[in-house]
Amino acid sequence: MRTRTIFAALVLIFIGIIVGLTLSSRLDVQKITLAQETNISEETREFLGKLSDSLSEVAEQVKPAVVNISTTKTVTLRQSPFEDLFNDPFFRRFFGREFPFGHKRKYKSSSLGSGVIVTDDGYILTNNHVIKDADDIKVTLYDKRSFKGKVIGTDPKTDLAVIKIDAKGLPALKFGDSDKLRVGEVVLAIGNPFGLSHTITMGIVSAVGRSNVGIADYEDFIQTDAAINPGNSGGALVNIKGELVGINTAIFSTSGGYMGIGFAIPSSMAKAVMKSIIKYGKVIRGWLGVTIQDLTPEIAKHFDIKEKKGSLVTDVVKDSPADKAGFKRGDLIIEFDGKSVEDSTHLRNMVANTPPGKTVQVRIIREGQEKILTVTLGEFPETITAERGTFRNVLRGVHVQELTPDLRESLGIPDKVQGVLVTGVEEDSPAFGSLKRNDVIQEINRKVIKNIKDYEKVLSKIGPDESVLLLVYRGGGYIYITIKE
């Protein structure tokens, strides 16, 4: 009995020692863990805390000015009992995209995008492709209120659009100076990716002045690694001051998702386009009247030019502002209105953003000598005016321009042929496959078309479901074409 008691006591003592060692070990681990968790300097924690608070403050400030834009539009598709068969690439090679049999049906299609409130009385900037062809536009604010959006004007050349809602006292973003953005600067992107309202992502400015991306005619993009995904289009890119420095417009991705490269239209360009649309109902651009190209090392050597930047004049339009100012072929434009010219795209954007009627000084190099020419800019002679969405009838998606003397000569079109020149037809246009590039539309529904003004006047009176009869000059002959839904 006594032996059992002693044995039990020893066992308890042994267990106590083990438990004590275990607890001691755990306490030591906790001490180490705690030491590791707090082994951050006060300066670092203070800096990161201020950074976090600052970003949160900026985010809270700008979120209310970003809106959700949802659109609905009518699309027409042809249904066929042989749909699976004609989806085969072999058959599409012969019959094209349209099924030769079946009937067309109209469907309602919806999509989501973003927009930025830029005035407290309801003007909103967004992308043209967000509201393109929309039958209805619904704008939802940060406070969940919804309004019907009205299109004030669009500019497909920059992929910008201005819409308006009937509201007052709205939170509006202040425009920042995108020309002062520096590579490496922190920016925030705000939008509605995948329909997730008011999502904020952070990144830096990866590059500025990006062009030749293939998104718009006038390109001067801000490149950022802030995550931009489908639905972000039309949203805001802001700097650390909470100022609008860009309108998010596209992602560079083969998968359709974020891959570290996004593009935004600079606020300087967006502001100029917006002001022109609100004031004139369209975009008024400056015009110099020269054709230009980039300076390459080979061309520079041939012209004995030492400069590595600038835009080379290859032709001067007769009676244009440049012609009157004394520009000549072979001039190298190195400075425009006090700003250095990087390349032809840069010059083109600067001229376009300068109001017509303004007199500017242009520094050039001619035969090795610097000269300053003074020129009063004219208004860019807009040629492509019938953009898709302008007319909601069977000729939507048909792009035309004036038939100029140069075009007549290059295409071999006789002087007696009057009308507007077809420059392209979009694939989902009812006219696709019937009208072709370089066709000359001479009559619409037996009404003579001599220029763009005639074309727009006739089209404005054609209803959505009306068919049209066209007289077209094509390849040296005349043909009648009917187009219907």
- For residue range 353-392, what is the model confidence (pLDDT) as tens digits? 888 999 999 999 988 889 999 999 998 875 434 343 346 7
Give 315-344 pLDDT, tens digit per residue: 788 888 999 999 998 889 999 999 899 888
Helical (H) or strand (E) element with 224: strand 221-224
Angle in degrees, CA 72, 101, 466, rounded to 5: 50
Domain 398-483 has CATH 1.20.1740.10: no
CB-based contact 483:396 (threshold 8 Å) = no
pLDDT digits (tens, 9 = 90+) for 462-477: 887 788 899 999 888 8
Structure tokens at 89: 């690439």
Q: 419 pLDDT band (50/70/90 cuts)?
A: very high
pLDDT exceeds cutoff 70 at 14: no
Q: Which residues pair with 287 in a beta bridge?
A: 378
The two tokens of residue 11 are 């066992």
Give the model's pLDDT for residue 465.
76
* pLDDT reported for residue 360: 93
Residues 6+ apart with CB under 8 A from 449: 418, 419, 420, 441, 442, 443, 455, 458
User: What's the farthest any 2 CA atoms get from each other in the chain?
Assistant: 131
Instruction: Say if CB 379 and CB 280 are below 8 A apart.
Output: no
Q: Who contacts 36 (Cβ-Cβ below 8 Å, separation ≥6)? A: none
Q: Which CATH architecture has domain 182-264?
A: Beta Barrel (2.40)
Task: Please report which confidence band the pLDDT of residue 209 belongs to, taking 50, 70 and 90 as the band edges.
Answer: confident
Q: How far is CA 482 from CA 99, 388, 433, 438, 456, in A?
A: 18, 19, 12, 18, 18
Average pLDDT over residues 432-456: 89
The 3-state secondary structure of 151-194 reads EEEEECCCCEEEEECCCCCCCCCCECCHHHCCCCCEEEEEECHH
Q: Phi and psi of 60, rounded to 5°? A: -65, -30
- The pLDDT, as a whole number, for residue 388 is 34
pLDDT score at 294: 81
Query: Alpha-carbon distance 372 to 410, whole Å?
Result: 34
> What is the pLDDT at residue 174?
92
Contacts 24+ apart (CB under 8 A), 301-305: 303/330, 303/332, 304/368, 305/332, 305/365, 305/368
Residue 457 region by backbone torsions, left for phi larger than 0, else alpha for psi between -120 and 50, else beta: alpha
Share above pLDDT 70 across residues of the chain, in percent, rounded to a whole number: 80
Q: Render the burial of 265-280: b for 16+ CB within 10 Å, e for the rest.
A: bbbbbbbbbbebbeee
pLDDT digits (tens, 9 = 90+) for 146-160: 999 999 988 888 889
Q: Which CATH number fits domain 65-164: 3.40.50.300, 1.10.260.40, 3.30.450.40, 2.40.10.10?
A: 2.40.10.10
Average pLDDT rounded to a whole number, residues 448-456: 87
Would the pLDDT of 283 be above 70? yes
- Whether residue 433 is predicted with pLDDT greater than 90 in this model: the reply is no
Active site residue: 70, 129, 346, 399, which one? 129
| Contacts by residues 291-294 (CB-CB < 8 Å, ≥ 24 positions apart) | 291/315, 291/317, 292/333, 292/344, 292/347, 292/348, 293/344, 294/343, 294/344
- Average pLDDT of span 73-99: 54
The one catalytic residue among 111, 114, 233, 276: 233
Q: In 3-state terms, what secondary structure has residue 449?
A: coil
State the CB neighbour count (10 A cutoff) for residue 366.
Answer: 16
Looking at residue 47, its pLDDT comes to 81
Confidence of residue 34 (pLDDT cuts 50, 70, 90): very low
Place 83 in a pLDDT band, splitting at 50, 70 and 90.
Answer: low
Q: What is the pLDDT of residue 231?
A: 77
* pLDDT tens digits for range 257-278: 666 788 889 998 999 899 989 8
The encoded tokens of residue 308 equal: 């590595």
- For CA atoms 126, 161, 164, 72, the dihedral sign is negative
Q: What is the dihedral angle through the alpha carbons of 311, 268, 128, 204, rounded to the nearest 10 degrees?
A: 90
Q: Catalytic site residue 178?
A: no
Using DSSP's 3-state secondary structure scheme, residue 345 falls into: helix
Tell me which range, 79-83, 96-100, 349-353, is most confidently predicted by mean pLDDT.
349-353
Tell me: pLDDT of 28 over 60.
Answer: no
Highest mean pLDDT among 16-20, 211-215, 430-434: 430-434
Q: Contact, 278 vs 258, CB < 8 A?
A: no
pLDDT of 93 over the 50 cut: no
pLDDT in tens, 210-238: 876 666 777 788 888 888 877 778 888 99
Per residue in 105-126, pLDDT tens?
A: 666 667 788 899 999 999 999 9
Residue boundaries of the structural domains of the chain: 65-164, 182-264, 286-379, 398-483
Both structure tokens of 213: 């991306």
Start-to-end CA span in the chain (Å) = 107
How buried is residue 396: exposed, middle or buried, by Cβ count under 10 Å (0-12/13-18/19+)? buried
> In CATH terms, are 182-264 and 398-483 the same topology?
no
pLDDT value, residue 371: 92
Cβ neighbours for 456, distance < 8 A, ≥ 6 positions apart: 385, 386
Q: Is 460 a catalytic residue?
A: no
* Token pair listed for 336: 């425009």
- pLDDT at residue 372, rounded to an integer: 93
Q: Which top CATH class is 286-379?
A: mainly beta
Q: How far is CA 350 from CA 180, 213, 317, 324, 355, in A?
A: 15, 18, 19, 20, 10
- Identify the pLDDT of residue 386: 39
- Which among 114, 155, 159, 311 is annotated as catalytic? 159
Query: Average per-residue pLDDT in the chain?
Result: 80
Q: What is the rounded radius of gyration, in angstroms, for the C-alpha atoms of the chain?
A: 31
pTM: 0.63
- Catalytic: 220? no
